[in-house]
Amino acid sequence: MIKNGKRELAYLVKIDTIEPIVGSDNCEAAVVGGWKIMVRKETFKPGDLAVYFEIDSKVPETEEYAFLEKKHYKVKTQKYTFGGKGCFISQGLLMALTDFDKGDGMPVWRGQLNAMILNNSVEKVLEDGYPLTDILGVTYSVAEDNKRKSSGDKYKKMAQRHWKLFKHNKLVQWLYKRMWGKKLLFLFLGKKSDKKASFWPDWVKRTDEERIQNLPQLFPPDDTKWIATEKIDGSSTTFTMKRGKRGKYEFYVCSRNVCFDKPEKEDKLFYETNIYTEMAQKYNIEAVLKDILDLYKEFDFVTIQGETYGEGVQKKTYGIKGHDFAAFNLIVGDKNRVAKRYNSIEMTEILTNTYNIPCVPIIAEDMTLLPTIDDMLNFATGESILEPGTLREGLVFRTYDGVRSFKAVSNQYLIEKGE
């Protein structure tokens, strides 16, 4: 679930339905949106509230999660075959609300949740979203991802460092929900290091696509036409330029969450070298963005976002030496911050055909969504265009107007990669 531009790893859900699992006598599938999670029989029933932990997450190494000790407290995609009697892919972890209650009573957040439901309704709470990532101290399962993917927000970094306090202290939780409260907490709990990566161009949205499993409202599908592109397993990269004062231009190179606007930001690099500035130089990005702004006076800013991939970037190198780049977003906007995202076909015509900047491979055009989420996930599994003979990570789908998009990650790819 993406909330306020951030991927939540743990949050409140309602069980939609319970399905049998072929070949299993003791387990069944709890369905939450498009996610299917294997649980013991009669643990949940439709309509029950639960805490859902997404794949890629790691829970704290505490007593309440002791059952995950052999899995190093990590939540991953799991494939079960039941002795050849059936096959089921389970994604994520479900825990009942009562699993968090201890001998001294329920934790503070449970009491707050009960009060919210009493004053509103379950549907309202779920619609607004009830994130639990920071409260429960959940992080990414891959340690490096906590640096590479975590937000540059100084308040979030403060909360993650003091997660026990933010989990148990009712006053701290109340303050953290208010901006003035965050500032007050930062006076006592913040560090100078929390501020170092706080700058981000305010006209640029950080990259993160919602997973198809979190969009059940798209099914059954309508007749909207979509474009499917290959999802590349790399490091998110942003290049952006804005018109400055006196005819000057402001140019920035960013990773997923860090803008390298100052030399000292180099210490925020996850990789041994700055692969982001390397790609900017390789494809002469600054000159390209300036040319676009010179050609189109109505634009106040232009942004190119994509994936940098290759040697040492993630586990999939795509069989190349060094690094390369593929764009997936071309966004322009005016002084009022009204932005337009070109669709994948338009973007390729502009960036590749005019400026020789590679774009993500287009897999399908003018397609409607398949009948079910499972059908879409099966469709996402296929051969990589960038590295023939290997599995692609999945697909990203965008509408022709460039407004809507989501990703479908191949379950087979996740299993082979160990996620």
Specify the higher pLDDT residue, 37 or 103: 37
What is the reported pLDDT for 367?
Answer: 97
Q: Which residues contact 244 (CB under 8 A, 6 or more apart)?
A: 250
> Which residues face 57 on adjacent strands?
75, 140
Task: State the CB neighbour count (10 A cutoff) for residue 172.
Answer: 17
**pLDDT digits over 19-43, tens only?**
999 999 999 999 999 999 999 999 9
User: How large is the average pLDDT for residues 47-58?
Assistant: 95
**Residue 193 vs residues 70, 154, 161, 175, 183: alpha-carbon distances, Å:** 34, 9, 12, 22, 16
What is the reported pLDDT for 86?
Answer: 86
| 32-36, 261-265, 310-314, 381-385: range with lowest mean pLDDT | 261-265
Dihedral sign for Cα 141, 92, 416, 395, please: negative
Amino acid residing at 270:
F
Could you tell me what percentage of the chain is helix, strand and coil, using 3-state DSSP and rounding each to the nearest 5?
Answer: 35, 30, 40
User: How large is the average pLDDT for residues 204-211?
Assistant: 90
| 178-182, 205-209, 231-235: range with lowest mean pLDDT | 178-182
Q: How far apart are CA 37 and CA 31, in angstroms?
A: 7
| Most confident among 61-70, 156-165, 197-206 (mean pLDDT) | 61-70
Amino acid residing at 411:
N
Task: Assess whether pLDDT exceeds 60 at residue 148.
Answer: no
Which candidate, 408, 403, 350, 347, places its Cα nearest to that of 380? 408
What is the reported pLDDT for 254?
Answer: 93
What is the secondary structure of 154-173 as a DSSP string?
HHHHHHHHTHHHHHH-HHHH
What is the reported pLDDT for 189?
Answer: 87
CA 60 to the chain's CA centroid: 20
Query: In 166-300, at which residue ranges do the beta strands (DSSP E only) sit?
Result: 226-231, 235-243, 249-254
What is the reported pLDDT for 419?
Answer: 63
User: How large is the average pLDDT for residues 203-227?
Assistant: 94
**pLDDT digits over 274-308, tens only?**
999 999 999 999 999 999 999 999 999 999 999 99
Which domains, ranges and CATH numbers included, belong to the chain?
A: 2-141 (2.40.50), 212-417 (3.30.470.30)
What is the secondary structure of 309-341 as a DSSP string?
EETTSSS--TT-SSEEEEEEEEEEE-TT--EEE
What is the reported pLDDT for 267?
Answer: 55
Give the pTM: 0.83
What is the reported pLDDT for 169?
Answer: 86
Query: Based on the number of CB atoms within 10 Å of its own CB, is 105 exposed (0-12), middle (13-18) or buried (19 or more)?
Result: exposed
User: How large is the average pLDDT for residues 47-75?
Assistant: 94
Task: Assess whether pLDDT exceeds 70 at residue 129.
Answer: yes
Task: Assess whether pLDDT exceeds 50 at residue 67.
Answer: yes
Task: Assess whether pLDDT exceeds 70 at residue 194.
Answer: no
Q: How far apart are CA 390 and CA 318, in angstroms?
A: 9
Q: Are 377 and 408 in contact (CB under 8 A)?
A: yes
CA 26 to the chain's CA centroid: 33
**pLDDT digits over 217-251, tens only?**
999 999 999 999 999 999 999 999 999 888 899 99
Dihedral sign for Cα 409, 412, 415, 417, please: negative
What is the reported pLDDT for 144?
Answer: 61
What is the reported pLDDT for 1?
Answer: 76
What is the reported pLDDT for 159?
Answer: 77
Specify the higher pLDDT residue, 111 or 151: 111
